[in-house]
Structure 1
């Protein structure tokens, strides 16, 4: 479930930074594996458990001259959660957590972008996860942009946010150290 949120956050993060002179639409490069929706959560307060969502898609619109007009939209396949442990992944897909049979998709759609400094912004939007829609803010950073070796043009962003599991009706009690999950997103978009 956290991974879905991460995916949404990553797309949201892509909306920020500086780059082009004109507004442009970008498709997140998941086909070339240049985008990641990752998460981390404390395991009993003793260590960190890391995971990712392997299947997601989306895009963003970005205008360097008017970053506040940027937009992000992403959808994520919740069953694609991967923590490098098959039994744990099966449990995360269950009704205890992501409930993927009932809610196979998580989405993020931006509602506002606010510049917070040179190459940084807060991307506000609605995250739908486990059938619950809540507002979230992704702290995003512009990584870079330019021509690629295949004749295209790319822009990249990173971002992060923290989510409380109970806010998304994930009631499984993992203890006080594990009430929050951090989403860490890195996206590279190809200009259309």
Structure 2
């Protein structure tokens, strides 16, 4: 009897200690995810916008952070700054040149965990305007758990600062606009 209980306890502990990596698809249908940006407007304010059409996925492994990864693909034509004329300009050759570069993407190459549980550093390849650069940024887990529809969700948020000129976007908006902020809010549904 003792051997049976010991074997059962070992199996339960082993299954918890070595949980398999979890695969998630980003919930863009329910509008529980977004890719947003802001850039300074001549030193007086901010132009803010978002990409309305994108898809993504991520892998989360609580036991081995080296297995974690994230991938996002953005339809650049979906840029939305809440101003139709500005959106046409941003889609054109001065900025995103969406006819030539219809997609932007991010693929992680390494994820490490910070000292605080739930905070991670993500390194990966960001492709924008046909140029790929390695970037590094911090993300934070917002939460995880069962949803009201019988699924399981996990969400993260993070942001990075980048220079448009590093990606071949050289339209002069003045020195205050030399950098821009890119923000990811990703809520995924476990598959």
1:105-120 mapped onto 2 (5 Å cutoff): 105-117=103-115, 118-120=117-119
For residue 103 of structure 1, what is the aligned residue in structure 2? 101
Distance 1:138 1:188 in 2: 18
Structure number with greater CO (CA < 8 Å, separation at least 6) is 1
Distance 1:126 1:86 in 2: 30
For residue 160 of structure 1, what is the aligned residue in structure 2? 159
TM-score by structure 2 length?
0.88
Cα deviation, residue 22, structure 1 = 3.2
Distance 1:59 1:104 in 2: 19
Cα deviation, residue 66, structure 1 = 1.3
For residue 51 of structure 1, what is the aligned residue in structure 2? 49
For residue 12 of structure 2, what is the aligned residue in structure 1? none
User: Which secondary structure does the structure 1 equivalent of 2:127 belong to?
Assistant: strand
For residue 185 of structure 1, what is the aligned residue in structure 2? 184
**CA deviation string 1:39-87 (max 9, x = no partner):** 1110001001110000000100101111222011110000000000000
For residue 174 of structure 2, what is the aligned residue in structure 1? 175
For residue 31 of structure 1, what is the aligned residue in structure 2? 29
For residue 9 of structure 2, what is the aligned residue in structure 1? none
More divergent stretch after superposition (85-94 vs 66-75): 66-75
Distance 1:58 1:185 in 2: 11
**CA deviation string 1:5-52 (max 9, x = no partner):** xxxxxxxxxxxxxxx943110000001110010011100010011100
CA RMSD of aligned residues (A): 1.1
The alignment status of 1:79 with 2:77, answered yes or no, reads yes
Distance 1:64 1:167 in 2: 34
User: Which secondary structure does the structure 2 equivalent of 1:135 belong to?
Assistant: strand
For residue 63 of structure 2, what is the aligned residue in structure 1? 65
Distance 1:21 1:53 in 2: 34
User: Which secondary structure does the structure 2 equivalent of 1:173 belong to?
Assistant: coil
Distance 2:43 2:20 in 1: 47
Instruction: Give the paired residue count.
Output: 173
Return the index of the structure with the highest Cα Rg: 2
Distance 2:20 2:30 in 1: 25
For residue 125 of structure 1, what is the aligned residue in structure 2? 124
